[in-house]
Amino acid sequence: MSLHVAIKMLRRQTTCLRIDEKNLLIFFVRPLSLGFTLLEVMVSLAIVGGLLITLIYTLNYHLGIAETHSIITISTSLAKVKLHELEITPAVGSGTFEEPFLDYSYETDVRNSSFLGMSQISVTVRNGREAVTLSELILNPSK
């Protein structure tokens, strides 16, 4: 096989061919691949899978925190309303709130304070495992 035939065959199989005529050396590069190897695909899928698992876990965690904050905010607002009612008519009792807060319950308490002429009123609002308690000192009603 002559040198010219070998060069023609190499040109068909390579993307770059260079002949150094001083030393008669032939340099060639493999043809460009048109796809990914199975290993490359598996590694990229493992990376994407790890990122998705982390993203789903983080999203679920932060949604739980947002729900807890929402419950605490609503409980605090309901406790303030009930505490305002107790300022007008102090009484010990318990119950649930009206629609749309049927999941929330409350307990009220009235105690004598260590300060003369004052009483401590407190309201505890519960929803599931979250509870908010607000307390306040009021003047004893004159009898």
- Model confidence pLDDT, tens digit, residues 66-84: 999 999 999 999 999 999 9
**Which residues in 30-116 belong to E strands, given as ranges?**
93-96, 105-112
| 133 in the same domain as 74 | yes
pTM score: 0.66
| 63 in the same domain as 97 | yes
| 44 in the same domain as 106 | yes
pLDDT band at 42 (very low <50, low <70, confident <90, very high): very high
CB atoms within 10 A of CB 71: 20
| 99 in the same domain as 72 | yes
Q: Give the chain's domain count.
A: 2
Percentage helix, strand, coil for the chain under 3-state DSSP, each rounded to 5: 45, 30, 30
In tens, the pLDDT along 97-135 reads 999 999 999 999 999 888 888 999 999 999 988 999 999
For residue 23, the model assigns a pLDDT of: 55
Q: Where in the sequence is the domain holding 134, given as residue range(s)?
A: 38-139
pLDDT reading at 29 higher than 60? no
| 127 in the same domain as 74 | yes
